[in-house]
Amino acid sequence: MPRRLYSCTPSRLNTWLDCPRRYRMAYLDRPMPPKGPPWAHNSLGSSVHNALAAWWRLPEHQRTPEAAGTLLARGWLTEGFRDEEQSAYWRERAREMTERYTATLDPADEPLGVERTVATRTDRIAVSGRIDRLDARGAELVVVDYKTGRHVLTSDDARGSLALAVYAVAAARVLRRPCRRVELHHLPSGEVAVWEHTDESLQRHIRRAEQIAAEAAAADEAYRARVPEPRRGEALPVDHAPHDELFPPRPGTLCSWCDFARHCPEGREAAPRKEPWAAVDAAARGD
């Protein structure tokens, strides 16, 4: 029998690496355990990403920095902020960074893709993901990823990103053009972190993705052997305790930001969950 491919995204693979228990809750438990309240920094990031995607879909003559700011304000997401005042403050900051960033772009330099889904497969995995922007520069493709967090990124971040490497491999195979350059565009600072992969470095990332997938797939199979498949329209509650040896928690400082913290005593003990607006509050203070 041919081996069944493990279907995944870079996010799913990284979740397994970060914490198998969180992986189980996010991808296997049905019904999924209730998440905590939404995060303000996710609302900010999604608002900026949505505005930039919409900006590229405008007719070329309408692609002005002011138009980008208008799109940001019109589509602003308010979930997770402490109150209306904090939301309004960050809406204006996000508007400024979006206008400043689009002022550096050439409206006529049409991307090959915006929020484009790409996919590829190997003998072991079928992996897919969505690229913020895919540029054509000469004969080659460039993967562009927008970042809105407070920490300025470096070329090491671009080099080590499993997601960016997977996107580069998938884009090259889908469009049949070389794709080795990956970029992290940090909107708050205007900095761009760049890495130029080789064929060998891209294949190292793919082999790493396959290794992670093999571990996760084995745990998935063991989980399904213990939990019966629900009938159509039925949701079976899951007894979490018997799965701890397959999906152990990895408590640490990241537990403060876990959506499933309320279901994980070890995580709560390691780092109590932050308030939903904690990240934007720290950024406003310059922490």
The per-residue pLDDT for 178 is 97
Angle at the Cα of 46 from the Cα atoms of 41 and 52, rounded to 5 degrees: 130
pLDDT digits (tens, 9 = 90+) for 83-110: 999 999 999 999 999 999 999 999 999 9
* Assigned token pair, 128: 């897919």
pLDDT at position 234 is 55
Q: Is the predicted pLDDT of residue 30 greater than 90, yes or no?
A: no
pLDDT for 160-169, tens place per residue? Answer: 999 999 999 9
Q: Whole-prediction pTM value?
A: 0.92
Distance separating alpha carbons of residues 174 and 258, to the nearest angstrom: 34
CA 224 to CA 164: how far, in whole Å?
31
Residues 6+ apart with CB under 8 A from 176: none
For the cut 70, the answer to whether the pLDDT of residue 63 exceeds it is yes
Q: What is the pLDDT of residues 152-190, one digit of tens each?
A: 999 999 999 999 999 999 999 999 999 999 999 999 999
End-to-end CA distance of the chain: 55
Q: Give the residue among 88, 61, 32 at the shortest CA–CA distance from 236.
A: 32
The helix (H) or strand (E) run that includes residue 161 is none
73 contact partners, CB below 8 Å, separation of at least 6: 91, 95
Q: Note the pLDDT of residue 41.
A: 98
Length of the chain, please?
Answer: 287
The least confident of 14-23, 226-235, 244-253 is 226-235
Q: Distances from the Cα of 239 to the Cαs of 33, 129, 138, 183, 243, in angstroms? A: 11, 31, 55, 43, 8
In this structure, whether the domain defined by 113-204 belongs to CATH 3.20.20.70 is answered with: no
Q: How many other C-beta atoms lie within 10 A of the C-beta of residue 7?
A: 14
Helix (H, G, I), strand (E, B) or coil at 270: helix
